[in-house]
Structure 1
Amino acid sequence: MDIDGIDHVEFFVGDAQQWAHFLCFAFGFRVQGQAGPETGLPGRRSLLLVQGDIRVLLTSALDPEDPAAVYTARHGDGVATIAFSVADTRGAFETAVAQGAAVAEEPTVLERCGARVVTASVAGFGDVTHRFVERTGDPEEFLPGLMEMVPSTPAAQEPPLLAVLDHAAICLPAGELAPTVEYYQKVFGFSQIFEEFIEVGEQAMDSKVVQSPSGKITFTLIEPVVGRKPGQIDEFLARHGGAGVQHLALLTDDIVGTVKTLEQRGVAFLQTPDTYYTELEQRLGRPELDLGALRETNVLVDRDHWGEVFQIFTQSMHIRRTFFWEVIDRHGARTFGSGNIKALYEAKARERATA
């Protein structure tokens, strides 16, 4: 199966306009398309947001029976679809189904003015699906015949703060980690590239990372350890109503500058204890970025065989305190070291303690 990368991520949300306002004002996305009954999309409204190579589709239901309404009633706002860019949708769909994937949407062809998009969907984890997307013709057309594209403005030509989706972190119920890894290996041809057992006090979790052959799609899969004190993964599963995307990581090439800009626009990040930075050089040596700047912005750092990775996590804006964002900057690092995963776990534990 020839999966290139992530075509887009679709959120099912109660109010797409409200989400779009925040993501555009605070994170620097811009609206590139809009769809609804007036454009030929019945029962729902969607807004397409773009920044760099990141495409986010926000969808709100107009019909209480629409899948978007069913999803938000159970899970609240969240990631419903992670779409894969492929050269041959029908071939990818047939291969996935033959390998055991459940059908979510049969292949559909959308065409307009020379642009052609073929889509089909299969089950992923929990209620999240994967949409295969094959595109030919005008690259600006997102859903030909169903979405009205919005002309670019001069502001759209400014350099983006955020470049691509680096990875998605996914929480799974206990006992589902190994079967989910096997599913992505068998159905989509992903490989397991990392695993880690994390202990923080009386809490513990298992994590495995799977990645597409292209290296452009990475999922960090996490499950709680049975018999340990319930922690943030258990909390997510209870509030979300099962497996789901806990966060999406947005890649930048200047994390200090990006964090300062986002904070000025109202994005709230998790705070890091000052002791983290006083002990940092002893733990890892002197980082490539200025220690004072890291301390000022609360950015975390870890190292692997190839280099360093810098990251920070936003506070959750979700009413259920489930989904949040990560901003990440890779200086050669390719993997997810134990320090990164443990830092996330401890950072969320600090947020829970002060909630």
Structure 2
Amino acid sequence: MDIQSIDHIELFVEDAEEAAVGLRDQFGFAVAGRGGARTGLRGCDSVLLRQHDITLLVTSATRPDHRAAEYVERHGQGVGVIGLRVDDAQAAFAEAVERGAVPVAPPETLGPAGDQVVFASVSAFGDVEHRFVSRSRPDGPFVPLIEETARDRSGGLFTEIDHLAVCVPAGTLKETVRRYEEIFGLRQTFEEQIVVGSQAMDSKVVQNGSGRLTLTIIEPDVTRAPGQIDRFIAAHDGAGVQHIAFLTEDILAAVPESAERGVRFLTTPQSYYEALGQRIGPIGVPVAVLREVNVLADRDPAGVMLQIFTESQHERGTLFYELIDRRGAHTFGSNNIKALYEAVDRQQTRNPTGRA
């Protein structure tokens, strides 16, 4: 199975228009199209958002039996579908099912000859599905059931989805990674245990061959005190996507602009920046500049990464976003993972629901 990249992310929400406006206004996504009963969508309304190589589909149910309604009732608003771009969605679906994937939706071909899109879905983790997507034309429409009004992707500060962080119940990390290796052909590229005070979590990273599908999969360490991963699993009612990371080529411009748009970021204690340069070596950016915008810095053998995380605006305090600027680095730095854990913990302690 040749998974090329993330094709799109579908968010299941209570009100598609309202959620799309938030992503447009705060993160600079362009509204590229809409779909509903008038365009042939069954039981839902959807808004298509684009920015460079990022495609988001925001969907709300118009009937109680639609999957978006069931998802939102159980989990609150969040990621319901991770679309995977492949050469042949029908073949990828058949291969995944043969390898043990649970089918969700059989292959469906949409659109006229020469401009066809094929969708087919299997279960990923929890109530999240992977939707295989293949198109007759790589630059063709997202899907004929969405009436597109704009095709320009050039605007915005974010270029692609760098990775998704997934929280899974304790004791399921190893099995989840095994399924990604055996069913989807991904490989494990990183693992880490993070200990913060009396809490701890274990994480493993899986990637496809191109590196354009990266999942950081995290489980709580139940031998230690309950922490934020336990709280996510409880609040989300099972496994789910904790955060989506947007790649940017200039995080030092993206953070203040996003803040002006209304994005609220997690703060970093000043002690983090003490001896930062000595701890990780040359960064290429003055530490004082990083401190001013609360950006974290770390490195791997290939280079430096700069990161920052938003506060969760989710009604259950779960889903949030990350901005990441890779200046050579390919993996994830241990210091930043620990800093993220501590920052989320501070927010959850201060505001456990994630609401303003």
Task: With the length of structure 2 as denominator, give the TM-score of the two structures.
Answer: 0.96
Correspondent of 2:270 among 270, 274, 281: 274
Deviation at 1:278, TM superposition (A): 1.9
What is the one-letter code of the residue matched to 2:295?
V
Aligned length: 351
In structure 2, distance between residues paired with 1:128 and 1:340: 27
Tell me, yes or no, if structure 1 residue 149 matches structure 2 residue 145. Answer: no
In structure 2, distance between residues paired with 1:92 and 1:143: 18
Correspondent of 2:285 among 289, 310, 332: 289
Q: Describe how 1:231-270 pairs up with structure 2 within 5 A.
A: 231-270=227-266
SS in 2 for 1:7: strand
In structure 1, distance between residues paired with 2:153 and 2:36: 27
**Per-residue displacement from partner, 1:287-314 (whole Å, max 9, x unpaired)?**
2122222111100011110001000000
In structure 2, distance between residues paired with 1:227 and 1:301: 30
In the alignment, what sits opposite 1:31? 31
In structure 2, distance between residues paired with 1:291 and 1:276: 10
In structure 1, distance between residues paired with 2:289 and 2:114: 49
What is the one-letter code of the residue matched to 1:279?
A
In structure 2, distance between residues paired with 1:138 and 1:79: 24
What is the one-letter code of the residue matched to 2:294?
N
In structure 1, distance between residues paired with 2:140 and 2:50: 11
- Structure 1 residues 147 and 231 mapped into 2: Cα distance closer, same or farther (>3 Å)? same
Deviation at 1:158, TM superposition (A): 5.6
In structure 2, distance between residues paired with 1:69 and 1:346: 33
Deviation at 1:138, TM superposition (A): 7.0
Tell me, yes or no, if structure 1 residue 185 matches structure 2 residue 181. Answer: yes
Deviation at 1:113, TM superposition (A): 7.1
In structure 2, distance between residues paired with 1:304 and 1:262: 27
1:114/1:138 contact within 8 Å kept: no
What is the one-letter code of the residue matched to 1:307?
G
In the alignment, what sits opposite 1:161? 157
Deviation at 1:117, TM superposition (A): 0.3
SS in 2 for 1:124: strand
Identity over aligned pairs, percent: 52
In structure 2, distance between residues paired with 1:350 and 1:283: 23
Correspondent of 1:206 among 187, 202, 212: 202
- Structure 1 residues 239 and 157 mapped into 2: Cα distance closer, same or farther (>3 Å)? closer
**Per-residue displacement from partner, 1:193-240 (whole Å, max 9, x unpaired)?**
011111000001110000012211000000001121110000000000
1:115/1:139 contact within 8 Å kept: no
Runs of 4+ in 1 over 4 A off after TM superposition: none
2:26/2:261 contact within 8 Å kept: yes
In structure 2, distance between residues paired with 1:22 and 1:222: 28
1:116/1:136 contact within 8 Å kept: yes
SS in 2 for 1:242: coil
2:31/2:47 contact within 8 Å kept: yes
**Per-residue displacement from partner, 1:68-93 (whole Å, max 9, x unpaired)?**
10000000000000010000111111
In the alignment, what sits opposite 2:61? 61
In structure 1, distance between residues paired with 2:154 and 2:205: 34
Q: Describe how 1:1-355 pairs up with structure 2 within 5 A.
A: 1-112=1-112, 114-137=114-137, 139-144=139-144, 146-151=145-150, 159-355=155-351
1:115/1:138 contact within 8 Å kept: no
In structure 1, distance between residues paired with 2:47 and 2:139: 17
Structure 2: segments with no counterpart, 5+ residues: 352-356
Deviation at 1:137, TM superposition (A): 3.0
What is the one-letter code of the residue matched to 1:290?
P
2:266/2:310 contact within 8 Å kept: yes
SS in 2 for 1:91: helix
